[in-house]
Each structure stands twice: as C-alpha cells, then as structure tokens.
Amino acid sequence: MHDSAFQSLQAFFDELSATIGASSHTISAYQRDLNGLVDFCIGQSLQDWSEVQVSHIRQFVAMRHKNGISGKSIQRELSAIRSFYRFLLKRALVVQNPAKTVRAPKVAKKLPKILDVDQVAGVLDANPDQVLDVRDLAMFELFYSSGLRLSELVMLDLADIRLAEGFVRVRFGKGGKERQVPVGAKAIEAIRYWLNSRPEISSQAVFVSMRGARLSQRNVQLRLERWCKKNGLVEHVHPHMFRHSFASHLLEASQDIRAVQELLGHANINTTQIYTHLDFQHLAAVYDNAHPRAKKNK
C-alpha cells in the first residue's frame, strides 16, 4: 500500500485520541482490528483505501471466518472498518464505505455467568484481617453494590466518593460518559473502613497500593483470585461477575429494565436485555401464579 494509506490510518488514530477522547485501550483495539485489513489489502495488491470495494470486505470476512475467528470478533473488526471509512469520507479520501452493508456471521448469544445471592455472600461475608484485605473487601462490595466496570472502579478518585449522600460519580464510563450510581449500606461501611485504614499519601485514587500507586485492573483481578482462594471458594470469580450479578439480582427484584440500564451505563437497552434471559425463573413463577389456566384445579 502507498505511504498515503498508512498516513490516513495514523490520522484516524490521532483523531480518536484527540477529538473523541478514546482511551489507549480502545485505540489499541482499533489498531489490532484494522491491522488485519491492512494485511488483507497488501495481499490483494490494493494500494489505496479508495480501491477497496464491498466484494473485498466480504472476502475479508469470509477469510477471517475460515481461519476460525469468532463471529463476535469479526463484528468488532467490521465496526472498526466502518468507523475508519466514515473518517475517510469526512476527509473526502473515498466515495463510499464498503463495509457499511457487510455483516458478520451470526453469533449465538452467550449468557453472562453470574453468582447467586448465597455465592455473593460467600465472597463478601469474610472478615478482613489485614489492611490490604480491608481495601479488597471495599472494592468487592462496591462492585456488587453499584455494578461498576473494572475500568471504572480503578479510575475512581476520592472526590468521586460521596458516602454521606450515598453515591459515587463515575467519570470514565464506556464511551467517556459520566453517571452517578447509588452505593448500598454494606459498601459504604466497607469503604469508610478502608478510607480510615488507607495510608496517608498524596494520591487522589481511592484504591491504592501500600506505596500509594493507583491499582491497575490486573492488580484487582489478582487480588480477587487471592481472596477467593484464601476463603476457600471453589467457584472461579472474576470482577465482571459482580456487575452481571448486580444487574440480574436488581432486575429480578424490581422488573425495571430502564432503571437497570441507567445504573449500568448502557447506551442501548438491547445490551441490558440480556439480563432478562437470566430472569426466566422469576417470569415463570409470575406466570404460574397469575395466569388463570397455568395450574390445574385443586
């Protein structure tokens, strides 16, 4: 491909960072997804982005599918390609978006794995016996109390925690969106305990190491694994399971999918609707109790 094609690609990444404010993680994902298209175009002897046609994108998708790439990954790659071509169209560097009408192979919806209420209690009812355990319990309580993403939790600053009012401010939600979420009594108690035990350091991060460094996402994952082993939990628990469990338990109790959508920070309610599938047992019970012909006469 011509140097100008690579320059356009770099300009796209620069715009993602500067204008849209995408995180480094998001930009890296776009780079990985578009590198596959670059390799394909080189293999097809295409010199410029304007030469790519709908048939080429279909070939690319078929090749990725044949190579065992999942439908979900191909969907993500197509989304990156469409975004890139929208950028090129704005710059008048192409006349069409060849990926606009191309679809990835259908993906079977995989239900998220959740913890039931007793399993959550097994994780959260253990007593911390050292300062780092106090911090860890505060993190895990907040995960389940407020349905935070892992990335959102590690980016919390002290100014974001409003315990007296009973909420936290999430400033780094998905897509750069900010929201406020309530915090339950158990989580408030655990966070206050941690803040009173927290080392006297200048860092504004809520969850820090004993040296004052903001915890990374990987740190939190490792601490949760350690916590589960220490407390004899056989179930493999990862941070996002708290978010899934929060959503499922709240939806089961309230039946208010719009409220759950707002609390999770989902832009589209279709994303939230996956939790309705987890709630089938509740719906079946409502049906049995309410429908006049659901039960045999006693």
Residues 38 and 132 in one domain: no
- Is 243 among the residues known to form the active site? yes
Residues 165 and 276 in one domain: yes
Residue 27 domain-assigned (yes or no): yes
Residues 56 and 129 in one domain: no
Residue 248 CA to residue 112 CA, distance in Å, equals 10
- Is 291 among the residues known to form the active site? no
Q: How many Cβ atoms from other residues are within 10 Å of residue 271's Cβ? A: 13
Spatial CB neighbours of 163, under 8 Å, sequence gap ≥ 6: 183, 188, 191, 192
- Is 85 among the residues known to form the active site? no
Residue 37 domain-assigned (yes or no): yes
The pLDDT of residue 193 is: 94
Residues 165 and 213 in one domain: yes
Tokens 């305990």 belong to which residue?
193
Q: What is the dihedral of CA 213, 216, 221, 226, to 10 degrees?
A: -20
Residue 297 domain-assigned (yes or no): no
Task: Choose, from 64, 223, 243, 244, the residue flagged as catalytic.
Answer: 243
Residues 261 and 158 in one domain: yes
Note down pLDDT in tens along the chain; length 298 residues. Answer: 889 989 999 999 888 887 766 677 888 888 999 999 999 999 999 999 999 999 999 999 999 988 888 888 899 999 999 999 999 999 999 999 999 999 888 766 677 788 888 888 888 988 888 999 999 999 999 999 988 999 999 999 999 999 999 999 998 877 778 888 889 999 999 999 999 999 888 889 999 998 889 999 999 999 999 998 888 877 788 898 888 888 888 887 777 788 888 888 777 777 777 777 655 555 566 667 776 666 655 4
Residues 180 and 40 in one domain: no
- Is 149 among the residues known to form the active site? yes
Rg over alpha carbons for the chain, rounded to the nearest Å, is: 24
Note whether 206 and 161 are within 8 A (CB).
yes
Residues 204 and 272 in one domain: yes
The pLDDT of residue 129 is: 84
Task: Choose, from 174, 179, 186, 282, the residue flagged as catalytic.
Answer: 174
Residue 102 domain-assigned (yes or no): no
Residue 183 domain-assigned (yes or no): yes
Q: What is the CATH number of the domain that holds 60?
A: 1.10.150
Q: Is 182 helix (H, G, I), strand (E, B) or coil?
A: strand
Q: What is the CATH number of the domain that holds 236?
A: 1.10.443.10
Residue 245 CA to residue 260 CA, distance in Å, equals 12
Residues 135 and 260 in one domain: yes
Spatial CB neighbours of 212, under 8 Å, sequence gap ≥ 6: 199, 201, 202, 203
In single-letter form, the type of residue at position 224 comes to: L
Residues 80 and 160 in one domain: no
Residues 51 and 175 in one domain: no
Task: Choose, from 58, 86, 240, 282, the residue flagged as catalytic.
Answer: 240
The pLDDT of residue 298 is: 46
Residue 205 CA to residue 138 CA, distance in Å, equals 14
Residue 293 domain-assigned (yes or no): no
| Domain of residue 43, residue span | 3-90
Q: What is the dihedral of CA 180, 150, 25, 35, to 10 degrees?
A: -120
Task: Choose, from 149, 198, 223, 244, the residue flagged as catalytic.
Answer: 149
Last residue of a domain, one of 75, 90, 105: 90
Residues 67 and 137 in one domain: no
Residue 194 domain-assigned (yes or no): yes
Residue 133 domain-assigned (yes or no): yes
Last residue of a domain, one of 45, 75, 90: 90
Residues 83 and 124 in one domain: no
- Is 240 among the residues known to form the active site? yes
- Is 266 among the residues known to form the active site? yes
Tally of domains within the chain: 2
Cα distances (angstroms) measured from residue 264 to each of 30, 113, 174, 269: 24, 16, 10, 10
